Amino acid sequence: MRRKMALLLVAFMIAAFFTGCGQKTNEPAATADQGKADKELVVGVVKANSNFDPYGSYGDETYGHMQVYDTLVLKDKDGKMVPSLAEKYEVSPDGKTITFYLRKGVKFSNGTEFKASDAKFSIDQGIKSSYTSWAMVSAAGCDVVDDYTIKVYLKKPDVSFLERLTWIYLVSESAYQQYGDQYGKTVESTIGTGPYILKGWQPGTECDFEANSSYFRGAPGINKVIFKTISDPNAAVIALQTGEIGLYLKDVPGMAVETLSNNDKVTLTPFSSYVFMDVLMNCKTGPFADVKLRQAVAYAVDREKMLQVGTEGQGTIVDYPGGPDYIGNPNLKTWYQMDLEKAKQLVKEAGMEGKTVTIKTMDTDPWPKLATALQDDLSKIGLNAKVEQLEINAYSDKIWQKKDYEIAISRYWSGTKDMSETMGLLETGGSMNHCQYSNPAIDPYLTKASAEMDTEVRKQLYTEAIKIFTQDIPLIPLYYTQGTRAYTKGLTVDAGNVQYDHIYDYRWND
């Protein structure tokens, strides 16, 4: 039976990849008229990169990473896996070894050739880094076969592994070692194979990119791109309307959707989001190690209000980690009905009435608003809640790495639309289990479901896991955002590529 499942997995992974082999992706950008290509594109981002080390930063920094770096494989407009730095690959019969055959002649922006040693180094970094280990949870290691071939070893067959690899950006081993902890912190030390090269930089404020004319998939259709920080989404909407920016790499505020939809100078493209907002509670230490207090929060949080505060209603409330369109989702309705009296009683039973708890949150919109809304909800059930705002790196260090918090606003940005990734947040000892939750009863369901090929069987397994989750409440699921991208009508992009945020996919049409 196990061999049959492994063979099915191999067939699935090969089919997913080779549907794209032989296709030259993003051809329109590569053949754009030179005059149009010279027109500058200004892109609004919540915060321009403060770091270009793909293994030393995450979150909003990723928008910059994906312009200057490449991955082994990527997803096309139809969601299928297609070649990138890997021309092809082979999967072993047991589904636990993948051999990647790399493109020859690809150059880094410093002129050195991309080789297997760089790919292995990057895979190893991806496994070790706390910023990327979520994508490599099933990876055991990597070996170099020759200059253009590597083998990646998996701990177990993983149907979502290839999709996770689209978040592992490949760097130059020699450059990474040369610059050490300063890699990606200057223009000179940011070296990739991607469609754009970093040419100017005011960390946290502005990033200036120029097209890589030698890019292996063809030169980009836009030669100069500037990322500018516009932290206020409403200001970004105004900038779109006035033409100050041509593209906004963030979801459009709900109140502005109708306005921009009626603007004859702006295109608004929606897509199903990968972004899950939640409230983490530390299940190992502190007051929220008591399940009664966690259940009290579940009864108290007004999730409709949270959706309105966080997205102005543009999203979908969920009852556990996993979007409505995620593979394997049984789409259950299991959450607690709001009951403030019940919540107050549980707070008393936990011995926390009148006591102080600290809500930690990132300082970028809409996180502080969500923290304030949570503070209000907790005050109604007898808790004295305080809010502590942290900038992104401090937040990542305290919450996601050191687990130094009691309760926190959090976000999980899925790399795949598969329940094995999002429900994996609950796995004992998992690298993304930031709430430090552990229950031996739930783990077998999660393990079996992640390796199961039959979607209906997976749904049954996740149904049982969700029942346990709903009793234990290690986190409060809030919502998945509704993805939207707004850009000037002077730009053209395939609607299926909008969600990936690669500037390479855009071109000028006027």
Residue 346 has pLDDT above 70, yes or no: yes
CA distances 484 to 66, 250, 327, 390, 412, Å, are: 18, 7, 22, 26, 17
- Three-state SS annotation for 358-379: EEEEECCCCHHHHHHHHHHHHH
Global pTM reads: 0.75
Residue-wise pLDDT tens digits, 426-485: 999 987 899 999 999 999 999 888 878 788 999 999 999 999 999 999 999 999 988 899
The pLDDT assigned to 388 comes to 98
Q: How far is it, in rounded angstroms, from Cα 142 to Cα 144?
A: 7
Domains delineated in the chain: 2-228+489-508 (3.40.190.10), 273-482 (3.10.105.10)
Q: CB count, 10 Å around CB of 20?
A: 18
Mean pLDDT of the chain: 91
Instruction: Put residue 92 in one of left, alpha, beta given phi > 0 → left and psi -120 to 50 → alpha.
Output: beta
For 427, counting Cβ atoms within 10 Å of its Cβ (0-12 exposed, 13-18 middle, 19+ buried), the class is buried
Cβ neighbours of 420 (radius 10 Å): 25
Average pLDDT, integer, range 80-92: 92
Per-residue pLDDT band for 218 (boundaries 50, 70, 90) equals very high
Q: Is the pLDDT of residue 8 over 80?
A: no
Q: What is the mean pLDDT of residues 6-11?
A: 49
Q: Residue 482: its pLDDT value, please? A: 85
Q: What share of the chain is helix, strand, coil (3-state, %, to 5)?
A: 35, 25, 40
Reported as a single tens digit per residue, the pLDDT across 357-411 is: 999 999 988 999 999 999 999 999 999 999 999 998 899 999 999 999 999 999 9
**Mean pLDDT of the 88-101 span:** 92
The answer to whether residues 420 and 159 touch, using CB atoms and an 8 Å cutoff, is: yes
For residues 46-68, average pLDDT: 92
Q: What pLDDT shows up at residue 383? A: 98
Confidence of residue 34 (pLDDT cuts 50, 70, 90): low
